[in-house]
């Protein structure tokens, strides 16, 4: 799993490439969670365009980042580009009712600007 963090003006974009699978690159992912938290970005976009599959390890990563961003009242979060298989995991766990999602980066930027309701509408 490759994780790239891009800082743009008032937001962070975290791009993932590869499969989130249990046990793989655990130390690397823990380090990336720490890096994301230290960035103290109030607007966070997670880009899942290049993620074909996610399991509990990935869900845990997303939830940890989501909660660290949204515990601040001004915090905004959106997950973009989830394919059908990844969406099914979020739907099955019912996290799709809590975590804002958008189809693409443009929709994600709008969602971060307007709040989480725009992200939910952009599904």
| CATH superfamily name and code, 2-121 | STAS domain (3.30.750.24)
**pLDDT tens-digit readout, 9-32:** 889 999 988 887 666 566 767 777
Higher pLDDT, 64 or 97: 97
Higher pLDDT, 93 or 117: 93
Residue 60 has pLDDT above 50, yes or no: yes
Segments in the chain forming alpha helices (H): 26-39, 56-70, 84-92, 105-114, 116-121
**The pTM is what?**
0.84
- Please answer whether residues 43 and 70 qualify as being in contact, where contact means their C-beta atoms are separated by less than 8 angstroms: no
């Amino acid at each position: 799993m490759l994780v790239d963090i891009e800082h743009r003006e008032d937001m962070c974009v975290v791009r993932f490439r590869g499969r989130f699978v249990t046990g793989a690159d655990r130390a690397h992912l823990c380090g990336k969670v720490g890096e994301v938290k230290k960035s103290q970005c109030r607007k966070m976009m997670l880009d899942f365009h290049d993620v074909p599959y996610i399991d509990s390890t990935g869900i845990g990563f997303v939830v940890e980042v989501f909660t660290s961003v949204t515990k601040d009242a001004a915090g905004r979060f959106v997950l973009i580009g989830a394919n059908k298989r990844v969406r099914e995991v979020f739907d099955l766990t019912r996290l799709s009712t809590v975590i804002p999602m958008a189809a693409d980066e443009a929709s994600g930027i709008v969602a971060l600007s307007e709040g989480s309701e725009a992200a939910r509408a952009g599904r």
